[in-house]
A and B are shown apart, each in its own frame.
Chain A
Amino acid sequence: MNTTPKRRWPVIAGSVTAAALILTGCSAGGGESSDAKTITWLVDNTENTITYAEKLAEDFNAANPDIKVEIETRPQGGDGDNIVKTKLATGDMADVFSYNTGSLFQQINPEQNLVPLTSEPYMDNVLDSYKPVVTSGSEVYGVPVGTGSAGGVMYNKKVYEQLGLSVPKTWDEFMENSRKIKDAGIDPIIQTYQTTWTSQLFVLGDFANVAAANPTFAEDYTANKVKYATDPAAIKGFEHQEEAFKAGLFNEDFASATYAQGLEKLVNGEGAHYPILSFALPEIQVSYPDKINDLGIFPLPSDDASKNPLTVWLPGGVYLPKSTQNVEEAKKFLAFIASKEGCDSQTEAVGANGPYLVEGCDLPDDVPAAVKDMLPFFEDESKNSPALEFLSPVKGPALEQITVEVGSGIRSAKDGAALYDEDVKKQAQQLNLPGWN
């Protein structure tokens, strides 16, 4: 009896090994080619992302029959950030993964965790305007997936037509239009504070105006030399939100409405303006396909009609973690994503919702009207600026609560801006940035 447990171990180990061998034999035999390799790709779990990711994987496999791409998903937002950070820290990351660019990219320790791609031939395809947001130190670490998008005022063109309005170039014109819309019995500005992030657009979407007034703002902001509360251009975003609330231009249920309800109001013409990200377009296309061309987009206006630039959001990146075993195959896949074929396969899957940041990628003629509105701003560099989060790693986590308060009249614009300046201090200290201690 005593000896049996000791003898059992080799038997178990042996059978496990045998089973493993049989299993691997099976899977290799079952594939199309005898030496097909599988790489994994971790993406977020929005329907839009999964749809284009699966299409990319399929088309890549058609071009490279010996490599299969398997999609893994993770949640979005704070939970997703934690998963990515933990997987990187434990060496458990997929072979390639999608993640944000800009300030969130800086937080995952690129130099320690990622394989630099600076000298890869396909990096020549990536537009230069994209590279800074996936660069840490002197190396570039990612290729773009998805399209650029904008943060501005999405508006209902039918309402504008009916009331004979034209797109405003200044804040005063915008308020003037809004008052006319209100007189016509339509909600001029949609706000949806139940989905708190949507409250930030007055501030985040105004950044191109800040950058136009003060071209070194982002740099000085990272170095703790300028503040939202004291910079006359930067505080405008908060002030505009306060002004619009005080003028009673929001929908009545702004405090309890959700993002989905906001889109519904806009599409149905119950509301005329909705300051939001153009990420909303694919969602509208799915839910209200016949009304997508009723919508347009214009930049959040400033006081200066001559500039009127658009704040743009750059697409996420696909990165190669150091922990991967399949570097060659993964690099082939990155090359496919950063090619014309890659863009085409994304367009085929979800349509084009903005310009790609890869050389040679053209948009089809039938893009939604709002995308057509955006394109002129993207083409002329003086007419756009990336949002602050792509230019500076400093971003405070409480902005959405602060803008809810400013937009509900709980806190004044000046107070809100000062509170946000306090909030970003923690992020800067956590990242050990010089000038903040």
Chain B
Amino acid sequence: MTTNTTVAAPAGRTLTAAAPKRRQRKSSYPYWFYLPAALVYTTLFLVPTFASFFFSFTRWNLTEFTWIGMDNFVQFFSEPALLKGLTNTFIYGVVTSTLKVVLGMLLAVLLTSQIIARGYLRSVIFFPVLLSSIGVGIVFTVLMDPSRGMINEALAVVGIEGPKWLTDPAWALMSVAFVDVWKGVGLATVIFIAGIVSIPQEYFEAAKVDGASSFKSFWNITVPLARPATATVIILSLIGGLRSFDLIWAMTKGGPGFTSDVIASVIYKQYQAGFYGLSTAGNVVLFLIVTAVIVPLSMILNRKEVEA
């Protein structure tokens, strides 16, 4: 999920940086060169987006629709599973992105230091990112089986009785979040590595001359100067977390019952049941929520970056 959005955020930043230049230089290409791209963008993005805004106000069975105004939104917000789904979405987004930032940063520091087999360890950390979420979900469902799963069997050897990872309502969402972190931390690490490597070595040398401990130079040099990387990781993993669906669907289907439902799985279940208008309304709501969280957050994070 995170991989899809990798391109979007950095591209946004380069655009703002390049904006003043563009005004001065006249493009050497005629405007109709935009046409093919515009056509693809319109048919594949703009039309469906606006169609979905329209259909979210209707009761729709794919062949015919009735206009029902705001009823879908009223229904969506009175959905009992939704409140649970909404809180779960936020918990999931915050937990996964916090863990990815912390673990990603620590792993990046480790993997930029002079250790043996650095290249190999970097690829090991990145490897889970390449796997299919569904495959990872199925494998972990087997590993996390409460009585026959390898995780609990291993814990039993050292005398710990493991929790019922996916079937205990108190654990289910967290278990999926841990797997998400396992799978996604590699990407965060790579972004942090890029951020740390771009910090000029002179700062570290100067700090060493002044007698700073390695913890101090981490806290006072690496953390503040890797801020652009931190901002990117936070935004990407938060977007990924808020609209996460595939892992949850593969591992718990929102269960047991509704206890690990997130907004996206609630929407998918409505679509499956044939409530096309209602699930479209849900998608519009999800779009608005993600925008409402990410736009201000990215503005704050990027503004501070400029001030620093």
**Partner-B contacts on A (CB < 8 A):** 78, 81, 85-86, 89, 107, 109, 193, 196, 252-253, 255-256, 397-398, 401-402, 404-405, 408, 410-411, 419, 422, 426-427, 429-430, 432
Contact of A405 among B168, B257, B275, B278 (CB under 8 A): B257
Which residues on B sit within 8 Å (CB–CB) of A422?
78, 80
Q: Nearest CB to that of B266 among chain A residues? A: A398
Interface stretch (choices B56-64, B90-98, B197-205): B56-64
- Tell whether, in the assembled complex, residue B274 and residue A107 are in contact, meaning their CB atoms are under 8 Å apart: yes
Interface string of B176-196 (1 = CB under 8 A from A): 000000000000000000000
Interface string of B276-298 (1 = CB under 8 A from A): 00100000000000000000000
Contact of B167 among A255, A405, A430 (CB under 8 A): A255
- Tell whether, in the assembled complex, residue B257 and residue A397 are in contact, meaning their CB atoms are under 8 Å apart: no
**Docked pose: A341 CA to B147 CA in angstroms:** 50
Contact of B273 among A109, A408, A419, A427 (CB under 8 A): A427
Interface stretch (choices B24-32, B121-129, B222-230, B248-256): B248-256
Q: Nearest CB to that of B168 among chain A residues? A: A255
Q: Knowing A193-B167, A255-B146 touch, does A398 contact B59 (C-beta < 8 A)?
A: no
Which residues on B sit within 8 Å (CB–CB) of A411?
257
- Tell whether, in the assembled complex, residue B164 and residue A405 are in contact, meaning their CB atoms are under 8 Å apart: no
Q: Is B166 an interface residue (CB 8 A)?
A: yes
Which residues on B sit within 8 Å (CB–CB) of A427?
273
Contact of A398 among B78, B146, B259, B269 (CB under 8 A): B269
Q: Can you list 23 A-B contacts (CB < 8 A)?
A: A85-B62, A109-B63, A193-B255, A193-B256, A196-B255, A252-B147, A256-B145, A256-B166, A256-B167, A397-B269, A397-B272, A398-B273, A401-B254, A401-B255, A405-B256, A405-B257, A405-B259, A408-B169, A410-B259, A422-B80, A426-B275, A426-B278, A430-B61
**Partner-A contacts on B (CB < 8 A):** 59, 61-63, 66, 75, 78, 80-81, 145-147, 164, 166-169, 253-259, 269-270, 272-275, 278
- Tell whether, in the assembled complex, residue A256 and residue B257 are in contact, meaning their CB atoms are under 8 Å apart: no
Which residues on B sit within 8 Å (CB–CB) of A193?
167, 255-256
Q: Nearest CB to that of A107 among chain B residues? A: B274
- Tell whether, in the assembled complex, residue A426 and residue B259 are in contact, meaning their CB atoms are under 8 Å apart: no
Q: Nearest CB to that of A112 among chain B residues? A: B63
Which residues on B sit within 8 Å (CB–CB) of A255?
146, 164, 167-168, 256
- Tell whether, in the assembled complex, residue A430 and residue B274 are in contact, meaning their CB atoms are under 8 Å apart: yes
Q: State the 9 A-B residue pairs at the shortest beta-carbon distance, nearest first.
A: A405-B257, A255-B167, A397-B273, A78-B272, A404-B257, A256-B167, A401-B257, A410-B257, A89-B63
Chain B interface mostly: loop
Which residues on B sit within 8 Å (CB–CB) of A397?
269-270, 272-273
Which residues on A sit within 8 Å (CB–CB) of B258?
401, 405
**Docked pose: A89 CA to B276 CA in angstroms:** 15
Which residues on A sit within 8 Å (CB–CB) of B273?
78, 397-398, 426-427
Q: Knowing A81-B274, A85-B62, A397-B273 touch, does A426 contact B255 (C-beta < 8 A)?
A: no
- Tell whether, in the assembled complex, residue A398 and residue B275 are in contact, meaning their CB atoms are under 8 Å apart: no
Contact of B147 among A81, A256, A398, A408 (CB under 8 A): A256
- Tell whether, in the assembled complex, residue B275 and residue A410 are in contact, meaning their CB atoms are under 8 Å apart: no
- Report the minimum CB–CB distance from B281 to chain A (whole Å): 12
**Docked pose: A255 CA to B165 CA in angstroms:** 11
Q: Knowing A253-B147, A426-B273 touch, does A404 contact B255 (C-beta < 8 A)?
A: yes
**Docked pose: A39 CA to B181 CA in angstroms:** 52
Which residues on A sit within 8 Å (CB–CB) of B66?
432
Which residues on A sit within 8 Å (CB–CB) of B275?
426, 430
Which residues on B sit within 8 Å (CB–CB) of A81?
274
- Report the minimum CB–CB distance from A39 to chain B (whole Å): 26
**Docked pose: A89 CA to B258 CA in angstroms:** 33
Q: Knowing A81-B274, A107-B274, A196-B255 touch, does A430 contact B59 (C-beta < 8 A)?
A: yes
Which residues on B sit within 8 Å (CB–CB) of A410?
169, 256-257, 259
Which residues on A sit within 8 Å (CB–CB) of B254?
401
**Docked pose: A397 CA to B258 CA in angstroms:** 13
Q: Nearest CB to that of B277 among chain A residues? A: A430
- Report the minimum CB–CB distance from B53 to chain A (whole Å): 20
